[in-house]
Amino acid sequence: MTRAINEGVRIDIGELAPLFYAAFEDFLGQEADNITNGTSEQNLCGRLAMLLDRQRQEVGLVGYFVDTEYNRNGGKVKTIIGEVAQTITIRCDIIVHSRGTIFAQDNLLVVEMKRSNHTASEKNKDRVRLRAMTKQTYDDVWSADRKTFPEHVCGYVVGYYLELNRRARRFLVEEYAGGQQTGSAEVTF
């Protein structure tokens, strides 16, 4: 999949899903003790991000970065439009993006992680975020010059919601694309 920054070939879910699952499998194998010890979500996301970055490099995906707790969009705080048309500021657990340098396809992959003991409301916030971020556009509105990013974050090819039940040694993995949940599986470790 080696891609040059200016090549202009779109990266699709068929290429990103294997990248994610390879990193996730490595994460479960290498970090099982860390996961079951009750380590913070931030630490777990950082460890997964490192493995995602390694996979990104191995498949030759150039011009993209794997960032944790990222909250900027062209120097401004990232926002999405929520389910009731309100503007919501966001800070993503993990994203794979070009940091605004590849206009044709800046946003590739987003991951949100929660523990199973969080409230349903908190879990739903992550799911709303993933639906919004994987929409292609908000009402098909783009700048006329095609060089100015939309005001709100969108256009991620794929998103993953990871819900950890550490006692059962299990993750619920939900996949999001096109603004909708497209799949779900339980993964034990």
Report the predicted TM-score, pTM, of the whole model to 2 decimal places.
0.85
Select from 78, 102, 97 the least CA-distant residue to 152: 78
The sign of the torsion formed by the CA atoms of 21, 22, 26, 29 equals positive
Q: Is pLDDT at 6 greater than 60 in this prediction? A: no
Tell me the pLDDT tens digit for each residue of 107-122: 899 999 999 999 999 9
Tell me the pLDDT tens digit for each residue of 53-69: 999 999 999 999 999 97
Select from 176, 173, 152, 153 the least CA-distant residue to 163: 173
Tell me the pLDDT tens digit for each residue of 37-51: 999 999 999 999 999
The pLDDT value given to residue 142: 44
Structure tokens at 132: 């919004």
In which band, very low, low, confident or very high, does the pLDDT at 81 lie, cut at 50, 70 and 90? low
Tell me the mean pLDDT in the region 112-139: 89
The pLDDT value given to residue 147: 53
Domains of the chain: 13-188 (3.90.1570)
Q: Which residue has the tokens 């039940």?
A: 165
Q: Give the rounded percent of residues in the chain with a pLDDT score beyond 90.
A: 63
Task: Answer with the residue of higher pLDDT: 90 or 148.
Answer: 90
In which band, very low, low, confident or very high, does the pLDDT at 143 lie, cut at 50, 70 and 90? very low
Distance between CA 173 and CA 187 in Å, rounded? 7
At what angle are helices 13-30 and 41-58 packed, to 10 degrees? 130
Tell me the mean pLDDT in the region 80-98: 72
